[in-house]
Structure 1
Amino acid sequence: MNFIDLFSGAGGLSEGFIKAGFNPIAHVEIDSNACKTLETRLTYHKLNEENKLDYYHDYLLEKLSREKFISNFSNHEISKSVINSAIGGENNTEIFKRINELATDREIDLIVGGPPCQAYSLIGRARDKNKMRDDSRNYLYKEYAKFLKEYRPKVFVFENVLGLITANNGKFFKNMKAYFKRIGYELNYSIETSSDYGVLQKRKRIILIGWRKDIDFKFPELNTEKEGDWTVNDLLTDLKILKPGEQNNITKYRDNTTDYLSKFDLRNGIDYVTQHIARPHNNRDLEIYKIAINKFEKGERLKYPDLPERLKTHNNQKSFVDRFKVVDGNGLSHTMVAHIAKDGHHYIYPDKKQVRSLSVREAARIQSFPDDFFFEGGRTAAFKQIGNAVPPLMAKEIANKIHEQLINE
């Protein structure tokens, strides 16, 4: 069964659907680094099918340049299928042309994707004097709908933040649902918590699923029973101890795998890991991190006004008082978001022995990306892609439920 991934980012949603048995026809994404990540990952899946993963490992181990890796082991179809373009306006004509060339006589069974969420997010609305009402991204669902009208997939999946429901007093969401119904789709939605799918973070998202009115389909009963009493420490303890700014791109594991990593296949069975790299921090930030960790170990959270005056740099001490936040190693992480690309203050490592913010690999694991998933573009670009992604473990469960129904239908 074939699918198109819109606003695809690094491909977290796509990773889940591929592992559930769906075949990607095209990914459409505006960020060039994310497009390179998609091409790398699609090449991984191709080599995996061909039982040639040794070549992929050579790339991860820097024995092959990316240019040689892509030219030797990717193919024209993969290259053409990753469409680096903004969705909307005149761009859609070229995007449709590219997809049609790839699809040939193959039916598009599914469209997935989640438009940028900044216009719907509570934080975005709080920062904007017009509550983001005039932001053009509020209407990207209409661009999404153009692909539904063009390809008439059996099912679509639309993922976004909870703020979508309340934006503009609920009018955007009401209009969106009515619009999708008007073009021929029944639909329903649920609010899903990623930790119910094995993802070790407190991440809630709206999952809207629509289906063509002429097919026998119903909103799936998603898996909401948490398996095991896993914690973030189950993700972290096998990785090498890092100093701030340490940039060893390839490191050996320092300990055996954990039950969690084995159960959800995050460690992949190889004996090394890439992108376990930490950003540098100045002395002031490190001192604040130590204070935050000490407080957290006593069961308290650091509030910005509680810092010594000499460590404060912001006059506003009423907004975002939790800007320095320790990840809960003995529980679930708070939600991973793209702001981690700006600084690591909101994602402090939960141990006084490693005073720093999370590494790229640690952030990726919290989002449930496997260790052999490589993010192109460098550290900052990787953090952005990770923060914007849909957790693959959650995506896979949703994909499995849809796959079951479509097979029966």
Structure 2
Amino acid sequence: MKPVGKGVIGSKLARLQSGEPPRVLDLFAGCGGISLGFQAAGFRVDAAVEIDEIAARTHAMNFHGDLAEAAFEQHARPRDITSIEPDEIASELGLGDVENAFDVVVGGPPCQAYARVGRAKLREVADHPSAFKVDPRGNLYLRYLHYVRATKPLAILVENVPDALNYGGHNVMGEIAEVLDDLGYVARYSLINTAFHAVPQMRDRVFLVAVHKDLGTGIEFPKASRHLTLPSGYEGTRSVALKLLDLFAEGHFVEADHGTPDLPGPVTCEEALGDLPPITLHLEGKLRRGARRFDQPIPYPKRRKISQYARAMRDWPGFEAPADGLRDHVIRYLPRDGAIFSAMPHGAEYPAAHATAVRLWEEHVKSLEHSGKRLSEKEKLNLHRAMVPPYPVGSFPNRWWKLRPDFPSRTLMAHIGKDTYSHIHYDSQQARVISVREAARLQSFPDGFIFCGTMNPAYRQIGNAVPPLMAMRLADQIMLALRAATAGGAAMRVAVAAE
């Protein structure tokens, strides 16, 4: 298989040596978590491909919001990666020849398509760009490879869930690395938990980084900046994900750095959320069902001390906190559950929540009967239905969870777009689930980052995203590799000129 031509790579390196920023194409971009991290590390986000209409507009609003209307709308268009070609995107956005348009390709193809895609199929797409059409179950990842071949980037980032290491009997990331080797890249991947990198969330994800062999540089993953002991559930998930890896024979896998106990502890939920305005409308009877729009600013409370993390979220360059307050600090209306949220212990899951609800129901029945009111069995049953969640205790052990103020959050998922019981606020006096802005804080989105749409789509965009701080740590490493390559090229030219 013929590797990427040196002429294109050399031309891109020369451009970087002239002082121009590396240009990013973000595939499966969502609202822009990876894009934001790369932008913060000095890259320029020139294009994104995202099929979801609201997420695509969110991405455009944050990264191209200063453009004229016609140009902005081009960036805001939802695009289906299975039906649009790389050269079409470059043409539509006025970026010129697709081979020269981008320096870095990033993104996370959804893993559902991977189960039956094997090494032969992955290699097939490298020689036959339309091979993805043969097996639509694998088309998303095969399209990602197609975009890599068409754009000839200097570097690549792929993100995915831990299951990508053991999906349908495949180590998908290992297979990706092998194909990228064939395409002329040095590829490495690692299973990293974001809590070790100052994100207030224990989120395990696999990250693959690749650089073109012509750069002559290696790949380093970021060192941990925080240290913690992960709960047993996370260790179990990691063990299953790593089951297919032969760590002695595997040439592409790199063990993540977990730091040492002398490092600072993890960023906690209280550090992440403690400076935000309390929400009590639901306790005052002022909250109703329906879509929550982001049209009412809520001022920040006056506070003497703000955590380093909260200050970073308020002061992120280009995404500073809005002067009039937060417009997306809104929550779901859950009138049945406030008392349960308040009484649950920190760190409690659904079985404890259900037991708490039953206890509150029993206490309420006793209180009514003590006051002289006689309740029929039907009335008791109706009260039970009104006060106790109906889900079987054994079927949904992780459905509910109350944040611990002294520890990072559990993983935020896209499912919070449907309900937010997985992230109940640690402040028992507020008796509620987290708000949209609090979800964004736990993902490390700065306060000035705008989410389009209403509450549920915003939750979903946040849950689907890569934490920008984690993306920035990886982007920093890629930037170091690019700078090392351009410095090496400059030194070589000086030596040749001296001769």
TM-score bracket, shorter-length normalisation: 0.7 to 0.9
- Corresponding residue number in structure 1 for 2:463: 387
Question: Equivalent of 1:254, from 301, 306, 326?
Answer: 301
Q: CA RMSD in A?
A: 2.5
For 1:214 and 1:356, locate their aligned partners in 2 and report how far apart those are by CA, in whole Å: 54
Q: TM-score, normalised by structure 1?
A: 0.81
Give secondary structure in 1 for the equivalent of 2:167. helix
Q: Which residue does the alignment assign to 2:45?
A: 24
Maintained 8 Å contact 2:37/2:472:
yes
Asked if structure 1 preserves the Cα contact closer than 8 Å seen for 2:64 and 2:75, the reply is no
The aligned runs of 1:91-102 (5 Å cut-off) are 91-93=83-85, 95-101=86-92, 102=94
2:181–2:187 Cα contact (<8 Å) kept? yes
Quote the residue 1:357 is aligned against.
433
Distance 1:328 1:228 in 2: 18
Secondary structure of the residue aligned to 2:25 is strand
Write the mapping of 1:258-407 to structure 2, written as runs, cut at 5 A: 258-261=306-309, 264-267=312-315, 268=320, 270-271=322-323, 272-283=325-336, 285-291=337-343, 293=344, 295-296=345-346, 300-303=348-351, 306=355, 308=358, 310=385, 311-314=388-391, 316-407=392-483
In the superposition, relative to structure 1, how do residues 138 and 330 fare at CA in structure 2: closer, same or farther (>3 Å)? Answer: farther
Q: Which amino acid aligns with 2:84?
A: N
Corresponding residue to 1:112 among 99, 106, 117: 106
**AA paired with 1:242?**
I
Assess, with a 3 A threshold, how the Cα gap between structure 1 residues 153 and 83 changes in structure 2: closer, same or farther.
farther
Aligned to 1:240: 277
Matched, 1:35 2:56: yes
Which residue number in structure 2 is paired with residue 162 of structure 1? 162
* Residue 174 of structure 1, CA deviation: 4.0
Task: Compute the displacement of 1:231 (Å).
Answer: 1.4
Cα distance per residue 1:202-224 (max 9 Å; x no partner)? 01111101222322121123131
Amino acid at match of 2:57: K
Structure 1 residues 187, 264: CA separation in 2 closer, same or farther (over 3 Å shift)?
same
Matches of 1:172 and 1:220 in 2, distance apart? 21
Structure 1 letter corresponding to 2:464: N
- For 2:113 and 2:354, the matched residues in 1 are separated by 29
State the alpha-carbon separation in 1 of the partners of residues 90 and 49 from structure 2.
10
Report deviation, 1:322.
Answer: 2.4
Structure with the larger strand share: 1
Give secondary structure in 1 for the equivalent of 2:168. Answer: helix
Aligned AA (2:24):
F
- Secondary structure of the residue aligned to 1:169 is coil
Residues 406 and 400 of structure 1: CA distance in aligned 2, closer, same or farther (over 3 Å): same
Give the fraction of aligned pairs with identical amino acids, expressed as a percent: 30
The alignment of Structure 1 onto Structure 2 pairs a total of residues equal to 360
Of stretches 332-341 and 238-247 in structure 1, the one that deviates more from structure 2 is 238-247
Distance in 1 (CA, whole Å) between partners of 2:56 and 2:473 is 24
Q: Which residue in 1 is equivalent to 2:368?
A: none
CA contact (8 A) 1:199 1:367 kept: yes
Structure 1: 5+ residue stretches without partners:
47-72, 122-134
Q: Which residue identity is paired with 1:223?
A: K
2: distance between equivalents of 1:337 and 1:354? 23
> TM-score under structure 2 normalisation?
0.67
Q: What does 1:77-156 correspond to in 2, within 5 Å?
A: 77-88=71-82, 91-93=83-85, 95-101=86-92, 102-104=94-96, 106-118=100-112, 138-156=138-156
Deviation string 1:207-247 (CA, Å, 9 cap, x unpaired) is 10122232212112313121744311112222222134476
Asked whether the equivalents of residues 286 and 355 of structure 1 are also in contact (C-alpha less than 8 Å), the reply is yes
| Structure 2 CA distance for partners of 1:250 and 1:8, relative to 1, 3 Å | same
Q: Provide, for residues 259-316 of structure 1, a one-character-per-residue CA deviation record: whole Å limited to 9, x for no partner.
A: 3245524353544222001111132x3343234x2x33xx7544166453752423x4
1:214 aligns with 214
Change (3 A) 1:345 1:119: farther
CA contact under 8 A between 1:43 and 1:74: conserved in structure 2?
no
Unaligned runs of 5+ in 2: 1-21, 116-134, 227-262, 359-383, 486-499
Query: Once the 2 structures are TM-superposed, how far is the Cα of residue 388 of structure 1 from its aligned partner?
Result: 0.3
**Matched letter for residue 211 of structure 2:** W
